[in-house]
Each structure stands twice: as structure tokens, then as C-alpha cells.
């Protein structure tokens, strides 16, 4: 099993970095010397040194790991006056992984971009979380966060916690081992998001360190983290494990949410169809505008020119051959048009007035009209009709 590994430890705003970490053949350890106690850096250094010197790979048995933790506890007691430390550890024999912790340093294990498992703190705050009195988010800002009831180097005999189940790793699994000075500024959903967008352990940790430094302004507790991504030839059916129930999330992020649900070729086809539909709509709109413009144009009327009846001494053309708008009808004794006026008296006979006036239209010089409105004029009548002016149409 190959592991892409990257680690970092920062002093923060403290005068001394009391965190220690070590990585080796089958072991990855972070230890936090408790602040406020003497020789915290000596205590954490004793933990990492003892385990590195005494771990025997590939032995992950409970007896072997328990003896390592008990030995580290004794090493802390002998390292200085009153020093105490935490422990967060990942052990592997190349095919199986074991997690252990003492205190509030943590190990997170990821699969498919989600947190598969997280070690539990041995703290007052964790007990409150278990009883439902606060959430895991509240722990980060709790005044009781430093209250630990299980540490290495305490004068009371160390009672080891029940061991966690072994993990069978697969390709792409990842882990984060860190002190409380690191995880207090990084939320679990952010750990998952930064892992999903990273191609290496270094890139993953760099994303989280940027968040940490923005929030802590490099003025908080010491902070240490080890990131690992498993690169293995071992392949098993891919499943997204159910996240641990005690780890709340503010954002649900999975591999499915960051990968496109539509194939690239389908996107091209959809885009092409959308462009064709848009072009069709645009053509229809343009055609509608052109047709509307044509229908709104004023019709060419015969009123734009002076309409005259040929001046002939022998014949007068029938009114049926003269194109007159449909709204102008032949004069009738029963219903003469109200809008027809004759030209001025200087050139033409008296005007024909509307029936609304009290006087009847003058008929001087105009031949008698037909007996019925639909009877045509006699073409043999003398040519005495005046020329039509545009103003009467």
C-alpha cells in the first residue's frame, strides 16, 4: 500500500510549539503537549519518540498497540516535571489500518469524499455532545474545551479506551491526523470539500491551512496536521460509506455533487438545439414584423391623381368604368352622399350638399337620374358631368 503523505506543524501565537509528530514504516503519530503545564514540548516529544522506537510492523494486535500506549504514558512521566500530552495515531501493516487516540487530538478517515470515521475525544465537551447538551460545532467555542479526563503522563493510572474496529482501506481513501489547535478552525464539511478538489495530500493540506490561517490569524494555539491519501492497486466495489452520526455537517458534499451529471457530448447537442430554436424564433419575429409593416402601409389610391372623364363631344363613359373608392356611391335622390362636394362655382356647377342641410341639392344642368339606384346611366346623355377633383374622394 502506497500513501501520498504531507504534514505541517505551526507555532501559532504561542512562544513554544508543544506539538510533536512523527511518520515512519506503518505509524503516523501526532501528540499535543498540554498548554499550561510544564514541559509540554518534552511530553509530546517523549510520546512520538517512544512509539517510533518500539512499534513493530506488521503487528496491529491489541496487545502490541496497548503496550505501546502504556509505554508512551510512562515515557511522558519520566520526561519532565508534570508534563502531559495527547495522542492521535494511525497504524498499518500494509493491508489493514488501526486508529487510536488519547485526549482531544483526532484522526479523521475519509472514503468517497465523506468522513467514514472519526475518533472520539476524551473530554468534558465530548461527554456533553454524547448527552445531547451541545453539538460538535459548539465544542470549538466552548470554555470547557480544555477539560480532558484522559491524557498521557497523568499521575493516575491510564485506563485504555476500547479499541476501534480495524479498517480495510481501498484506493482513494484518505486520513487526517491533527491536534485540537488545527481542527478547531476547520469544519468537517470543509475538510471534505477541500479533499474533493485536491489531487495530492499537499494540495489538500494547503487548502485547509489557508482556512486556518485566515481564521486564527496565526495567533492561536499550536497546530499540527498529517494528511495521507492511499494510492493502492487494491480495488474493491466503490460505495460511499454512511458518515458517522455524531459529526454534524453544514454542507452535504459528495463526489456526485462536484461531477457533472450531463456528459460533455450531450451538453454540445443541447447547446446546438438551443441555438437552432433561437434562430427559428428570431426568423419568425422578423417575418412577423415585415408582414405587419406591409399591412400598415397606406394603399395606393386613385385619389392621388386627378380623375377625369374623357372630354368627348359624342359620348360619356359609364360610371362603371370609372374606378372610384367603394365608399363613394353614385348620387341618388333617396340617399345622396354627405361627403361629396362639387368643385368651386368658378369652374363647375353648384356643389352637391349633404342631406343633413335643409336645401335639396341643385340639379341645374345635370340630367335626370335613373328611376332606380341600380339602373345605369344612359351613355347617350350629353357630356355635362364636371371633372372629379381629388378633394371629393
Q: In the block, which residue shows the cell 377633383?
A: 389
Per-residue pLDDT at 70 exceeds 80: yes
Average pLDDT, integer, range 156-177: 95
For residue 85, give the DSSP letter. Answer: B
Query: What CA–CA distance (Å, rounded) separates 368 from 365?
Result: 9
Q: Using CA atoms, how far apart are residues 393 and 378, in angstroms rounded to an integer?
A: 24
User: Residue 12, Cβ neighbours under 10 Å: how many?
Assistant: 19
Share the mean pLDDT of the chain: 76
Instruction: Residue 28: name the closest of 10, 46, 55, 9 by CA.
Output: 55
* Model pLDDT, residue 38: 66
Tell me: pLDDT of 5 over 70.
yes
Q: Which of 184-193, 196-205, 230-239, 310-319 is predicted least confidently?
A: 310-319
137: buried, middle or exposed (CB in 10 Å: 19+, 13-18, 0-12)? Answer: middle
| Element holding 27 (H helix, E strand) | strand 27-32
Judged against a pLDDT cut of 90, whether residue 67 lies above it is answered with: yes
Per-residue confidence (pLDDT) for residue 233, from 0 to 100? 55
Which candidate, 250, 149, 235, places its Cα nearest to that of 192? 250
pLDDT of residue 374: 46
Is residue 90 predicted with pLDDT exceeding 50?
yes
Residue 300 predicted with pLDDT over 80: no
pLDDT in tens, 97-121: 999 999 999 999 999 999 999 999 9
pLDDT, greater one: 154 or 297: 154
Q: Where are the alpha helices (DSSP H) in 234-363?
A: 255-258, 264-296
One DSSP character per residue, 111-170 reads: ETTEEEEEPPP-BHHHHHHHTTSS-HHHHTT-TTTT-BS--BT-SSPP-PPPPPPPB---
pLDDT at residue 148 above 70?
yes
Amino acid at each position: 500500500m502506497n500513501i501520498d503523505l504531507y504534514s505541517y506543524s505551526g507555532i501559532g501565537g504561542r512562544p513554544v510549539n508543544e506539538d510533536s509528530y512523527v511518520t515512519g514504516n506503518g505509524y503516523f503519530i501526532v501528540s499535543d503537549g498540554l498548554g499550561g503545564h510544564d514541559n509540554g514540548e518534552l511530553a509530546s516529544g517523549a510520546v512520538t519518540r517512544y512509539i517510533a522506537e518500539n512499534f513493530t510492523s506488521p503487528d496491529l494486535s491489541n496487545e502490541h498497540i496497548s503496550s505501546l500506549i502504556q509505554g508512551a504514558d510512562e515515557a511522558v512521566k519520566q520526561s519532565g516535571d508534570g508534563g502531559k500530552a495527547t495522542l492521535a495515531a494511525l497504524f498499518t501493516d500494509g493491508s489493514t489500518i488501526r486508529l487510536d487516540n488519547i485526549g482531544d487530538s483526532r484522526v479523521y478517515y475519509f472514503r468517497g469524499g465523506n468522513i467514514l470515521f472519526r475518533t472520539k475525544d476524551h473530554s468534558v465537551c465530548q461527554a456533553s455532545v454524547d448527552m445531547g447538551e451541545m453539538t460538535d460545532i459548539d465544542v470549538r467555542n466552548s470554555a470547557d474545551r480544555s477539560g480532558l479526563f484522559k491524557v498521557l503522563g497523568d499521575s493516575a493510572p491510564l485506563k485504555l479506551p476500547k479499541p476501534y474496529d480495524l479498517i480495510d482501506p481501498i484506493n482513494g481513501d484518505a486520513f487526517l491526523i491533527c491536534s485540537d489547535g488545527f481542527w478547531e478552525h476547520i469544519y468537517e464539511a470543509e475538510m471534505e470539500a477541500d479533499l474533493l478538489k485536491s489531487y495530492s495530500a499537499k494540495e489538500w493540506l494547503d487548502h485547509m491551512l489557508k482556512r486556518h490561517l485566515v481564521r486564527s490569524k496565526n495567533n492561536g494555539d499550536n497546530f499540527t496536521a498529517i494528511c495521507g491519501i492511499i494510492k493502492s492497486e487494491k480495488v474493491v466495489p466503490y460505495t460511499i460509506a454512511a458518515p458517522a452520526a455524531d459529526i454534524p455537517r453544514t454542507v452535504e458534499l459528495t463526489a456526485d455533487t462536484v461531477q457533472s451529471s450531463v456528459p460533455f457530448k450531450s451538453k454540445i447537442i443541447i447547446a446546438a438545439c438551443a441555438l437552432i430554436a433561437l434562430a427559428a424564433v428570431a426568423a419568425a419575429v422578423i417575418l412577423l414584423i415585415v408582414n405587419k409593416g406591409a399591412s400598415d402601409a397606406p394603399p395606393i389610391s386613385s385619389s392621388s391623381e386627378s380623375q377625369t372623364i374623357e372630354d368627348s363631344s359624342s359620348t360619356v363613359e359609364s360610371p362603371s368604368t370609372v374606378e372610384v373608392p367603394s365608399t363613394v356611391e353614385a348620387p341618388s335622390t333617396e340617399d345622396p352622399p354627405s361627403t361629396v362636394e362639387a368643385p368651386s362655382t368658378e369652374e363647375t356647377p353648384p356643389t352637391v350638399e349633404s342631406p343633413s342641410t335643409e336645401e335639396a341639392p341643385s340639379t341645374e344642368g345635370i340630367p335626370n337620374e335613373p328611376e332606380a339606384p341600380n339602373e345605369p346611366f344612359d351613355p347617350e346623355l350629353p357630356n355635362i358631368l364636371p371633372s372629379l377633383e381629388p378633394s371629393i374622394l
